[in-house]
């Protein structure tokens, strides 16, 4: 999960990245800029290369990657967001044994 704390900064960085890509055709550039302005997940996709995220992990090869997003209200006090809850929490002592 990722929280976008400054959508304008994210969008601006993505637009700069697109503008700096000297190999991107003009038609694709226009489409990319419009997509980035509309959707924060598109902005993120232009800044983060999924291959780079797993390139150094032994035994892993990225075959396909996709992005999706949806706005949610985060409430750290809600049980819904409790990462330690019994039905899915990760217990290092029992899970790594």
| Cα–Cα dist 9/25, whole Å | 24
Residue ranges of domains in the chain: 1-57
Going residue by residue through the chain, which has 97 residues, state the pLDDT in tens, using 9 for 90 and above.
Answer: 788 999 999 999 999 999 999 999 999 999 999 999 999 989 999 999 888 889 999 999 999 987 777 778 877 788 777 766 555 555 555 555 4
Within 10 angstroms of residue 26's Cβ, the number of other Cβ atoms is 7
Return the exposure string of 56-93: e unless at least 16 CB atoms fall within 10 Å of the residue's CB, then b.
Answer: eeeeeeeeeeeeeeeeeeeeeeeeeeeeeeeeeeeeee
């Amino acid at each position: 999960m990722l929280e976008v704390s400054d959508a304008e900064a994210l969008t601006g960085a993505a637009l700069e990245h697109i503008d700096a890509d000297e190999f991107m055709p003009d038609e694709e550039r226009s489409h990319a800029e419009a997509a980035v302005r509309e959707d924060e997940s598109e902005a993120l996709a232009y800044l983060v290369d999924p291959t780079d995220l797993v390139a150094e992990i032994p035994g892993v090869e990225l075959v396909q990657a996709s992005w999706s997003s949806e706005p949610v209200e985060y409430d750290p006090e809600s049980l819904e967001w409790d990462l330690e809850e019994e039905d899915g929490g990760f217990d290092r002592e029992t899970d790594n044994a």
